[in-house]
Amino acid sequence: MKKIIISNFKMNTTPSEMKTYSMALATKTSESKNQIIVCPPFTHLCVAKQFLDGSKVSLGAQNVSSEEKGAFTGEVSASMLKDLGVEYVIVGHSERRTKFKETDRLVNKKIKTALANGLKVILCIGEDLASRQAKQACAVVKKELDDALKGIYENELEGVIIAYEPIWAIGTGKTATLKDIQKMVELIRKEIAYLYSDKAGQQINVVYGGSIDIQNYKKIISLACLNGALIGGASLNVDNFAVIARENY
């Protein structure tokens, strides 16, 4: 089954390293049947574009401004990314929600701006440990989904990938169990069906992220309910990321 394999470099590596990485990834994944997306820092996008051109790998950014343009020092707009050949953008990552205080409202605005500019969105949602322990995980995920998708039309969902990333599993070496992932993916599909239609619930792409590595990737990504994975730490090693990206699931 064809899967979507996404890297998130976070704030790691340099543009020079991106050149070597891109060349290696393009070669190593030339036979892959999966959809591969790399999301390096903004500073790496030009070099990544140059060395991934003509390969199986698409380019994503890790963030985007909610504003179109203007006096917003330090921000990067959706049209700038689009012009560079970027196809995807990660929105609502828990690190942006917690460390940069991004609200559900801002996440919603970013999604609208990204879609309006022809970018596809990788929308991250997921509960923290306290919510899970308080048996509130489903409620948190549902609310994040509802708020993020306010005012987004069903025909726009084609441009949205939902990444379920439980915060307690990010960078901790603790993955959610297959049962937990399955349960949450089902909940996400059900919520999409409720908000839009049964067809939308079935068709929406849902990926999992949180401590996926070269040892555990196959059993997680092979889950029939999942469309792929969003990989942080393990994506920094191009050999490992290429193995995950070219696997037959």
Closest to ligand 13P by CB, 196 or 208 = 208
- Alpha-carbon distance 222 to 178, whole Å? 10
Pick the closest to residue 114 from 66, 162, 46 (CA basis).
66
Distance of closest approach, residue 212 Cβ to ligand 13P, in angstroms:
5
Distance of closest approach, residue 156 Cβ to ligand 13P, in angstroms:
22
Pick the closest to residue 43 from 16, 25, 22 (CA basis).
16
Closest to ligand 13P by CB, 128 or 165 = 165
CB-CB contact of 214 with 239 (8 Å): no
Distance of closest approach, residue 165 Cβ to ligand 13P, in angstroms:
5
- Alpha-carbon distance 206 to 84, whole Å? 26
Candidates 93, 127, 144, 191; catalytic one = 93
| Other CB atoms within 10 A of residue 158 CB | 12
Closest to ligand 13P by CB, 97 or 246 = 97
Element holding 187 (H helix, E strand)? helix 178-195
- Give catalytic status of residue 93 as yes or no: yes
Candidates 102, 127, 144, 165; catalytic one = 165
Closest to ligand 13P by CB, 26 or 212 = 212
Residues forming the site for ligand 13P (CB under 6 A): 8, 93, 165, 170-171, 209-212, 230-234
- Alpha-carbon distance 173 to 67, whole Å? 36
Distance of closest approach, residue 70 Cβ to ligand 13P, in angstroms:
29
Q: Which residues are catalytic?
A: 93, 165
